[in-house]
Amino acid sequence: MQYENSSKLRSLKLNRRNSVIFAVLLLSLTAVAMPAAAEIINPSAECTADQKAADACPFLDDGVNDGLELVTFFLFFVGYISMGAAFVFFMSERSNVGPEHR
């Protein structure tokens, strides 16, 4: 690889301290974003009568409590957090990849 000994590449590698800081920042960002998203997309809120008459209710906010709203809302955040955790894991483990696979 032509950039193997580059100082720029060495500066991008995550060590244990940087990966912990990155994980804490990602966790704090998730903690800030989750309540904001829960306020924007509230699966327990029902449409008003005017919205129902105008057929302006969102798909998951139709007033029918069939459980789909809660499952969709929950799985969205499970996926969101899983993708963030996978990103942190792969970024912290990228220096442990064998040279033949780089």
Residue 30 pLDDT level (bands cut at 50, 70, 90): confident
pLDDT in the model for residue 94 = 80
pLDDT in the model for residue 71 = 76
Region 47-57: what's the mean pLDDT?
68
Residue 38 pLDDT level (bands cut at 50, 70, 90): low
Q: What does the domain layout of the chain look like in residue ranges?
A: 17-96
% of the chain with per-residue pLDDT over 70: 53
Judged against a pLDDT cut of 70, whether residue 9 lies above it is answered with no
Residue 72 pLDDT level (bands cut at 50, 70, 90): confident
Secondary structure (DSSP) of the chain: -TTTT-HHHHHH---HHHHHHHHHHHHHHHHHHHHHHHHHS-TT----HHHHHTT---GGGSS--SSHHHHHHHHHHHHHHHHHHHHHHHHHHGGGS-GGG-
